[in-house]
Chains A and B, each alone.
Chain A
């Protein structure tokens, strides 16, 4: 018997999911332990073992892989508790990380914040001036050495940094991706003085043109690296002590995993894995449901997140923003707005009703939590509208106070707008749905796709309450609420089923025409490096795939289009074909007639993604065909508002636990599950599929 475990460390809970070859699945939950996250992980594994009626040692002895995602790295960056890092860069350019190309004042902020121009600020500096060392050396755009590395200056800089007590040294020199020799030499010099020092080199972390994001990525890698190295060493020791002999894998922001052994070197790639869990869960559930194109929507307490899966793979972006700093990092592209269940409804100075982006969060939370909140939220509106059951929220674990919600909506919204409380709640509900719908539509369309080619998955506590509302106008093919065995720990399920994913890239900016020789040599170099990296994972993969792309642009454009490139040795005409592929993609993204080949074409960055497939995939248990009648699953009825057109209706309420494969529900209906509530409006219906998911359809 072999198990696979998935463990997702969230801000509040550590979720765990286990599955074996017989499609047995269990999930468990333990409080997260921010002082030492490993303890929460072990607690969650203990809980899994208990549910499987095994000892922890027996479970771990029979576990092949543990895949684990963590917010720890990201949290340390956001809360400023990251390691003290020294930064070495080319003389004259030490200020690049404080100038931040000027964009640091607004990068990553929402439109409301950006528009409030006079109140915008840059984030605190990544590295204090005292810890920034400018080194005499210079490489030019061709990779030619203009000025040799001054080793004397380098050594004394290293000594000064060590005296300052840095935990890591980040090195990012101009044009190091064209010629890494100076960076490599600096690492040697550092290790001569301090053999154990964690060194982060920009030519290894992200060998991509544009020094500002490259330096930021390299520094942040240094900030999270030592802590991750320490944490993984101790977790591995703890697991080993409990008889674990398998492979510990860490989820990356790109949606693929990496072995714990090699993760610390590329520590920065593990940030963002917390956002990715849902999308990866969607990929894996999609395999069971035969959905290749999926819009993954996750509506939690504070945010509404949208990710895309196309052709079975998460759609990634090559840059990301953390704390207003831009990073060169391939990451699953997730769009977010402050429209979670805790988003606050308010009236602006113009007397217009707004919902979000400010959130009541988990504390005090919605007014109905009776924990001190006074501003009405989306969840309060859901309660007033009869969609949520005050006695069965999260399976009855939390009692809600409808009277408080009504009072808050009356005082803050309905009174000033001269509406009834119910109408005000209905308006909040509908605005929240419209905002979510706009974000989904924008995410899909701006990536060059059509929503009609997608299935939409909805999860997170508040997602299923709203998904019918925000999906109706999108024209998506189908809407799935994952409610089967995966519901309780959807992200952890996603992790458990994930393969190893590695990427290698390098910038070789050049004007087209570019000879096949150059392109072949560059891909050879990247693929050789990736094969070595895959070997270092020490996993007997069932198979390995590689996918190539080149970031291409018309001369001078800022945004490159990542253009797929076929495998194998390329001929001159193949290389020409790449530019045709680029122009096709460009047209798809920006419309007919927008390309202009005469402006010239440039190849900027070459990238290869490798996927190492784990030898076995979890299968999900199938439900037997329903034997009971649909009627027997009805708990009762209540008056509820599920849709603007249909208004209020007496609505059947179903107990999810009594629903079974094949049941077909007609709207208006409400399904109460232990983890969430599903609203099925009039003119919509839902069926329970063989895995226990609710599949909603319209009209």
Chain B
């Protein structure tokens, strides 16, 4: 059981309402407020004019920080964000970069108002810095928030904030994530809110306290200036606006933006049928040498216009680096919720927050207590939380004929981290994180394939750097960076492909340090939806003492690992390793899950994927059941036969299921039918509500029953899920992993396709509670 360090309680913050924050802070501060009626009375013209200007101000803030930052993570990968908040820290507008970096900012500001208003005070010209994920502001210690109050005529009017990922803030390993970490004391020191700018002046002493921990203090200092500059920039814009329209009017518009987002989210939720949806997302290896498998469990309850995210059943926090705090749990929820639910609703996140609550037990993976290790939180338990939320929300949205277009299967399920450090080609020390995995696969949709190498779910504008920029900055040479066939999860609509890269040290004599961290190697996190298959397994391989120099001397540049000889090291999920000058390192990150049974995919699309090298002939035959003739055209007859064979094979392998609940099912759509998803329709039959197959009409069970028990279930080896599942789970974990598929007992169309641990209990959606 988790032990908490006495004295750390004050930082274990879970956010308070605006009213509560106001009550505490107003003892020491004059806060600018407007009445609720004021917000209702803004005329349409003024609302739109001021809203547009506020948007522009936040957008400009993003431009500014991006141009000024010195970190490749910020500038080439867009791993940053900024936000505008009201006087009590409610998020009025966040930028479209890394949503996770902006979402917890409200907590940092609220905590600051509650705990710093008295001492050292919050005054005009001040800015605070925070990288304590228990307080808020970021997902792990590398995410640093710099935020400042905006005062108008002596009253605190609102806040702006700029946060970005810093490459190194100390700790025992370069990059500040150490796979060896057992708790937070191995990692970068969390800094609770400190006043870094006082009266418009950067505090040298505080800055030094901040920079002293880093292996690259100069770059961190440049970024700090970018963050301060972006806040200054936004304050100037806001002041111009307030000068023209008056503080009360601008504030009234800000309040109405929150109300507007809230009412639109609620309207959307009301239109969707009520129900429960479940998801489980796995991570393996809590730290170097560990062979465990850890789950985050979600039960999403949608009732009327409200959501409950119930995480009970999630594993306890572990000795390692994969835990996350409650703030990061909160960020993980919004990471998926904003894109899925708010694609067409302004990102006044404060309004969205009013539409849901969270049930989570303290001391669990995604609600850990101090001093649990959290350096990997953003892409470990934070991201895993987001995966589960993505899966549940998508299943919920698919139950609505209109909103289902915003649904998406789980994208790249984790980050593939490689942090390199050593001496660069200019004889200077360097630390870098490879940002190429930013080009992850995006989830399949209900009406089309996922975007190939299109990005990562919560990082709306993520970006991979150009190879030349990486080679200019670092002593590396890329043998390749390419999309990998079959990496997108098969489905009626295919998940987006990921890519692989292969690097060798170049122009350096000394070995470099290599920190590897990334899950999804044994159990797939990039799950499919409604019969869609998971995307590829993640893998990192190092070849020691390779013959690459000799190959190059012979005029050969290898195009695959098989062409290079060397001692092959399959890297575990968590490892502090190294690269010698003659070593070769290969990363293959995750594509996304598919949507719907692949044997329902249009054969013409399968053919096109083959031509463009997006899938292999093996997958086309075994998984999609498509046969091409010698002229490379679809052979419709043989394709039909092949697909019938796949169904027959499924039938032969499946366990016995109970008989159909009713014999006569009307095939015509009934008035009260509910189309829950691609595969299942709820309908009237014999005076009761039943669930039937959307493809063949087979009556599965009565609504309210566990429909999974009435589906044909197949279990087999993971590789049955297709060539993208190449993992040997025993290389990473002790748990046995299986392929599991639930099919209609009538037509054997796949309803659910999984790669999960053997002891996994699949929960049924719609009715089952936690």
Contact = CB atoms under 8 A, between A and B. Distances in A.
- Whether A associates with B in a native complex is yes
A212 B557 CA distance: 21
A589 B228 CA distance: 14
B44 A349 contact: no
B472 A209 contact: yes
B555 A147 contact: yes
B663 to A, nearest CB: 41
A435 B52 contact: yes
Contacts of B59: 111, 442
Contact of B48 (A147, A354, A445, A589): A354
A87 to B, nearest CB: 14
Interface stretch (A120-128, A228-236, A498-506, A673-681): A120-128
Contacts of B69: 557-558
A174 interface: yes
Given A102-B454, A128-B612, A210 B466 contact: yes
A103 B260 CA distance: 30
B461 A353 contact: no
B749 interface: no
B407 A118 contact: yes
B76 A596 contact: no
Contacts of A435: 52
Interface in A86-133: 91-96, 98-106, 111-112, 114-122, 125, 128-130
Given A118-B340, A209-B468, A595 B480 contact: no
Given A102-B464, A103-B461, A174-B468, A138 B75 contact: no
Contact of B471 (A95, A118, A141, A442): A141
Nearest to A430: B45
B344 interface: yes
A101 B463 contact: yes
Contact of A350 (B52, B263, B469, B556): B263
Q: Which of A92, A98, A116, A419 has the most CB of B within 10 A?
A: A92
Nearest to B229: A594
Contacts of A212: 466
Contacts of A591: 229, 232-233
A446 interface: yes
B659 interface: no
Interface string B440-472: 101101001001111101001111111111011
A380 B74 CA distance: 44
A95 to B, nearest CB: 4
Contacts of A95: 453, 481-483, 499
A117 B451 CA distance: 11
Interface in A240-278: none
B264 A93 contact: no
A352 B47 contact: yes
B45 to A, nearest CB: 5
B657 interface: no
Interface in A339-356: 349-350, 352-355
A435 B407 CA distance: 32
Contacts of A140: 471, 477, 506-507
A598 B221 contact: yes
A599 interface: yes
B473 A122 contact: no
Given A556-B473, A558-B76, A99 B461 contact: no
A87 B502 CA distance: 22
Contacts of B455: 102, 105-106
Interface residues of B, number: 102
Contact of A91 (B70, B471, B480): B480
Contact of B466 (A101, A121, A353, A557): A101
Contacts of A184: none
B316 interface: no
Interface stretch (B60-68, B566-574, B683-691): B60-68
Nearest to B553: A147
A114 B44 contact: no
B219 interface: yes
A81 interface: no
Nearest to B75: A558
A559 B67 contact: yes
Contacts of B190: none
Contact of A594 (B56, B96, B228): B228
Contacts of A93: 467, 478, 480-482
Interface in A593-614: 593-596, 598-600
B219 A599 contact: yes
A349 B267 contact: yes
Contacts of B440: 102
A431 interface: yes
B543 to A, nearest CB: 16
A415 B218 CA distance: 59
A92 B479 contact: yes
Interface in A32-76: none
Contacts of A128: 611-612
Interface string B25-61: 0000000000000000001110111011101100110
Given A118-B445, A554-B70, A556-B72, A209 B340 contact: no
A629 interface: no
Contacts of A129: 611-613
Contacts of A98: 452-453, 483
Interface string A497-529: 000000000000101000000000000000000
Contacts of B55: 111
B460 A114 contact: yes
A104 B466 CA distance: 13
Given A99-B453, A122-B454, A644-B45, A442 B472 contact: no
A555 interface: yes
A590 B467 contact: no
Contact of A96 (B63, B264, B343, B481): B481
A599 B221 contact: yes
20 contacts: A92-B478, A93-B478, A95-B499, A98-B453, A101-B465, A102-B439, A105-B442, A115-B460, A118-B443, A119-B343, A136-B555, A140-B507, A141-B468, A353-B44, A431-B45, A442-B56, A473-B244, A557-B69, A558-B67, A644-B45
User: Which 3 A-B pairs rank lowest in CB-CB distance, beginning with the nearest?
Assistant: A558-B75, A92-B480, A117-B339
Given A105-B442, A118-B407, A427-B43, 4 more contacts: A95-B499, A116-B344, A120-B451, A431-B48
